[in-house]
Amino acid sequence: CLKKEQLVLLLCATVKIFLCPLGFELQFRLGPSLQGRKVMVHTNYPLEGQPFQRHNFHVLEWNYPSGKDDDSDKFCSLNLKIAGSYQYYFGCGDTERSGGGYIVVDPVLCVGADNHVLPLDCITIQTYLSKCLGHLDDWPDRLRVAKESGYNMIHFTPLQTLGESRSCYSLADQLAVNPDFIPEGQSYSWVDVGALVEKLRKEWNMLCITDVVYNHTAANSVWIREHPECGYNLVNSPHLRPAWVLDRALWHLTTRVAEGRYKAKGLPADITNDSHLNAIRTVLRQDLFPEIKLWEFYQVKVESAVEQFRILLQNGSKPDHSKTGGKPGLKIVQDPQFHRYGNTVDMDSALETFVPHSSLPQHIEECCGWLRQKLSDLNKEQLHIIQQHQEQAANCIVGNVVYERLADHGPKLGPVNRKNPLVTRYFTFPYQDMTLEQELQLLDQPDKSCHFLAHNGWVMGDDPLRNFAEPGSNVYLRRELICWGDSVKLRYGNGPEDCPYLWAHMQKYTEITAKYFHGVRLDNCHSTPLHVAEAMLDAARAVRPNLYVIAELFTGSELIDNVFVNRLGISSLIREAMSAGDSHEEGRLVYRYGGEPVGAFVQPSLRPLMPSIAHAMFLDVTHDNECPIQLRSALDSLPSSAIVSMACCATGSTRGYDELVPHQISVVKEERFYPKWNPAAPATSASEVGFHTGIIAGKLALNKLHQELAAQGFIQVYVDQVDADIVAITRHCPSTHQSVVAVCRTAFKDPKTHQYDTNVPPMFIPGKIEEVILEARTVDRHAGTYKKDDGYINGMPEYTVEIKEHIPLQDSTVVKQAGVTSKGRSEFVQEITFQKLTPGSVIAFRVSLDPKAQKLVGVLRHYLSQFSPKYRRGSTADENPPEVLQKPLAQLMSKLTLADLNVLLFRCDSEEQEDGGGCYNIPGWETLKYAGLQGLMSVLADIRPNNDLGHPVCANLRQGDWLIDFVSNRLVNREGPLAQVGQWLGAMFNYMKHIPRYLIPCYFDAILVSTYTTALDAAYKLMSRYLSFEKVSSLFKTQRNVLSLCPVSSRTAPALSVTWRWRMFPIVSIQSQARRSSLPHFSSGIFRCWGRDTFIALRGLMLLTGRHTEARNIILAFAGTLRHGLIPNLLGEGRCARYNCRDALWWWLQCIQDYATHIPQGHEILNCLVTRMYPTDDCEPRKPGEVEQPLYDVIQEALQRHLEGISFRERNAGPKIDMNMRDEGFSVAAKVDPATGFISGGNRFNCGTWMDKMGESEKARNKGMPATPRDGAAVEIVGLSKSAVRWVVELHAKGLFPYDGTKIHRDGKEVFVSYSQWNQQLQQSFEAAFWVSGDPKDPNEKHPDLVHKKGIYKDSYGASSPWCDYQLRPNFTIAMVVAPELFTVERAWKALDVAEKKLLGPLGMKTLDPDDMVYCGVYDNALDNDNYNLAKGFNYHQGPEWLWPVGYFLRAKLYFAKKLGQETYGQTVNLVKNVLSRHYTHLERSPWRGLPELTNENGQYCKFSCETQAWSLATVLEVLYDL
């Protein structure tokens, strides 16, 4: 049983379409930007057992798989059991709606007595004009044509009573069955219609849908006369009054033209040429528009307004400033009833704008004159606007006349008369003829004008979301409506309360339809108000939950299409092959409207819900469009229909297409009946059709094929344009790897008048052709020519289909010969040459892989099924499995060490080169980031969801085995368990190499995904419970890249000494166990291992991850390198170590403390023997084991040397070890300040902390000058030293450290310094020295003039450049974490707040206050100019945002927030999660699957940064641990 499919939707605002199959689980998860925030998800998907109410939302409960509140893992879910459109929205904090969207759940359709499921892609539908079916008793005989032609769904145009026009879509009574269907003496109702529909479903396995028409009703509907408020009339829509006046004037113009009264002006009744069109324009401009004076409806009566204004001025009235805002500007108020000269002046605006100099009469009159002039100008502006509307109206009137009377493709109505007026009327006029003057008087009679109802229609290029009949639209005035003169546009308002009768009437109509039909087609959907369609479909789904909804949209925008699909829950959008201008475009539509590409990747069961295009119903032609035979040729009907049938979506046609009816069957004028079914019908019969009529036999075979392909999982599609007329379409089943290839030769042009090329190019079909499923040609059967029958809708008798089905290839008459070729071991190809692939022909092949490939792909799927049940179908057990495949991969992986797993998964190019290899380069693209699996998995993670088979990696895989062999051989060439994993991969690849190359990418991905996930599981079993827990719940669960930032070398380390279990091995293997500082720049050679970086990263990457042995070894190994009381900054493989940093020793001590406190019995490390390489400062390196001492003695020496004072010059000082440093910089000094206890040292020519950028530019003259010397007492070193001293005091008290202090020489005397006293001194000195209060009277502040940020902690104390002490940097947060006791809570919180506001970036922390004069946030190491502060990356630590400090900042926030109470702590936790979510996003998107060294300002990418750095991830993991 397959695991339930689970779709994941990241919360965001979107109008994309999210289609969800019924029965799936939909999970809502937080997108990165929402993590760390209080988010509530609301949905109107109904609770179990409750009805759907669109406006009833409820909150979804969060699920916590890990058992705790982890934003990266929690989700809320819906089990999708009910079809329809559902809305969700989410809110953050106090904002109720921060975003949201819709999900569309497809219905499940069932047919037959056994109610078996009809998948949407299996649908083959045929449209019928219901009025052409005759009496209901005759329907089965006429509908049987659909059944015998292989259709499984029928679409009926509306079955209701039609209006006077007899248009299928102009309904006079929405609730009554069309009386045309009822024989005389019978009494049929909807129950009888429903019984027929159910019979078709059960006995014929056919579903039935029908149209619902919400936008209009027939103009002669009785109920619209009784309820004129249901339409747009001149009472409820007075803005239409000017348009009505124009409409009536045009009607009277029609009568005068018909009577010949404009003949003298060049406008006869029979309009036939351009001069007549020009005469229309002249008459409109000179006679009609001046007569009706439409501009008066939009103008002000000037003198009346002026007089009103005069009276106000004389009375001393003042403007109401609350209305005008005190701003002048005259406002005109449009008369809501649209009377002539009904517009008024907003007198408050007039009084604000025109202010007399005094109350004297002459000044008042002067002011009135200003108003009079302004109103006259405004009236002229309105005149100009209306003249523009009139000009557009004239253009539209003439354009309409051209189409209706002159155009070849138009109806050619002939002379103007009352039946065929000059233009279609826009409004009903249910009264006797009268003069225009008399009609205009009706405007002010509401009982009459309420019956002047606006007709419906459509507006070319209009916004479909705008109602063109509402106020604000001038469509009726500008005559832009393409009008349906038989229908009245319905006015729903905003809800049922605006028009109760209409809403109730249409809801009843909807419920009747849903009760008796399986689905609906939304007629004129793009013009139906969305809220109306939503409400009606809700009512329909309440009656029939699995309602199938289709619509044809003409919005011209996929984005707007999505709005309709989302809000209405449209199951399928109607698409039409007739929209294609050539065969190439027709083939492109097949590819566009459904299916995956052939060779698509297998998607996981739990996967992101990807946006998609709406499900398509792809039709040969729709029933209301032109006939293809008129635009193409009769011979094209079969091949174009075959192209449509090969689409991986719902397909269909309209009745008449298969019978080759050579004209459009008009939905308005057609009154003939469809022929009935008779399998033996003669070719010349008009009243009956059979298998030999038109292309019916071919359509039957194509419909069966379409349904078979969808039912059997042929979900992959490939379209090949063979030549200008031939399209080959492949449908492929990804489980069985069977294919069906249909070759269709279209005939867009009539072969009788167009010469087609007789040379048909051969085709190369990969695989073995099992059979010819069908071959069919449209042929002339010499049965006479077409003659339109008076009683029946008959087709062309001269053509039929010559068809063969399920024949061997050798029996084909279309194929000339078929040769078999083999291109390599996996390319089994059959070459096909054609002899009778004439225009109008189709041939379809069933193709399998060659027998060997078929067997091997089955075996491959068998082995993959251990990882996913999706591979069980089509799998075959291996008769003689290789030995390496007889064991589960997990068993092989269980033998790997973390070092092995690092080789398997990671290793960048320079690391591989050390072993003589390198990362794989994709020709023409780029080199993979890692040689291990992660290098490919990062790329495939982007390729897989989008099925980007055109990606260079996929192309490389198809072209050859180079990459495949690289993956396995790289491991086979190693020893031990890794070689076995390589052999396993090699054995799997050997099977894969024998399948067709187009399948290689998907199976290569499947093998790699299986191997990768198994390796990750093995890795987590070797790590701590914390990491195992994080595997399923942390922010980094999908990347699982702890390995990539803390791998160990694959070199074998020497065995440990037998004399003491915890002895460390020699220096030669320190490099082996130490992790890389960063990739790709510091990953190999002498620059691989850095002391400071190692110990900043060690707690997060080794202690917390459970790699305790490696952590111990690294601590002890570096202990062995102690010299001058320091450990080396650059280890340099032990050959060129540099002891030039003041902080590494203290980071090392911090890690020993962390080890001792974090690991059970961790304090025992203090007794471990350390092999000293330099027992004295000046000695040569000693041999392993020559000098050994316990770790606690090494620690004591380090503390003693600092208390004594360290001062030396680096060995080999000069360009040999540092080509940029000045001579003074090679002098290293560090000591304890006796006055404060602070570790102080350095000078302005060197940089002994992590901010260690040395100037390199001679041009800028910064060479040899540190950008950030940080001499004096650096704040983080003070904090680290306080932590170390406090710890040894505690250890001594417990009897775990033998020393309570040390003897030193001071002022020529030997004195004893107690660690307890030192600890107290640091505690007492710290805040007095480092806190910047900003108070000029603060006695502790020595340089108040240098303070430019108050409420912070200094970055250093006692720097040679005092202003450097006061620079705001993130280093004090380190001291807060390691020695929080130094800080008072309130001050610490203030400083952290400043740091958050000023330093916190998207990913990292600014290394310098952006308000500082030398701040620059963009690091460019290649820049060499004369700018001292920038050249050669001098600003490395002067602004760019480094990632590792953000971990300490967040940890400090968490620590002190707890001290401030639960509310503050809760807010801080949210902040921390939100910050970490941005790291999660970066990890997801980075091909390195790591966190970078730094970014430029505001999180911008820096190309000079290491792409992934150990300490960046280490400190983030520490934050997660604290959480």
Catalytic residues: 523, 526, 624
**Residue 623: phi, psi to the nearest 5?**
-75, -15
Q: Both tokens of residue 1240?
A: 């102080």
CA distance 622 to 551: 12
- Is 77 in contact with 60 (CB distance < 8 Å)? yes
Distance of CA 291 to the CA centre of its chain: 58
Residue 61 CB burial class (10 angstroms; 0-12, 13-18, ≥19)? exposed
HSE-up of 626 (CA within 13 Å, CB side)? 11
Q: Both tokens of residue 317?
A: 């009235």
**Residue 153: phi, psi to the nearest 5?**
-150, 140
**Residue 85: phi, psi to the nearest 5?**
-110, 130
Report helix, strand or coil for 600: coil
Q: Which residues are CB-neighbours of 823 under 8 A, at least 6 positions away?
A: 829
Q: Label the pairing between strands 650-654 and 124-128.
A: parallel
Q: How far is CA 515 from CA 208, 213, 1261, in A?
A: 12, 16, 87
Within the chain, what is the greatest distance between any pair of CA atoms?
132
**Residue 333: phi, psi to the nearest 5?**
-105, 120
Q: Which residues are CB-neighbours of 1149 under 8 A, at least 6 positions away?
A: 1195, 1198, 1280, 1283, 1284, 1287
| Cis? peptide before 1080, omega within 30° of 0 | yes
Looking at this protein, which amino acid is placed at residue 1409?
D
- Is 396 in contact with 480 (CB distance < 8 Å)? yes
Q: How far is CA 1233 from CA 369, 947, 1141, in A?
A: 89, 65, 18
| Complete DSSP assignment for 900-961 | HHHHHH---HHHHHHTT--PPB-TTS-B-S-SSHHHHHHHHHHHHHHT-TTSHHHHHHHH-S
Closest Cα to residue 1196, out of 1233, 1234, 1170?
1170
- Is 1443 in contact with 1492 (CB distance < 8 Å)? yes
CA distance 114 to 1399: 68
Torsion angle of alpha carbons 658, 664, 666, 667, nearest 10°? 50
Report helix, strand or coil for 1088: coil
Report helix, strand or coil for 273: coil
Give the Cβ contact number of residue 1471 at 10 Å.
18
CA distance 1206 to 1228: 8
CA distance 930 to 920: 8
Distance of CA 209 to the CA centre of its chain: 33
Q: Both tokens of residue 1352?
A: 């912070």
Report helix, strand or coil for 106: coil
- The CA radius of gyration of the chain, in Å to the nearest whole number, is 42
- Is 1014 in contact with 894 (CB distance < 8 Å)? no
Q: Which residues are CB-neighbours of 269 under 8 A, at least 6 positions away?
A: 257, 258, 259, 260, 263, 415, 416, 417
Q: Both tokens of residue 826?
A: 């996996």
Can you give the length of the chain in residues? Answer: 1523
CA distance 315 to 976: 106
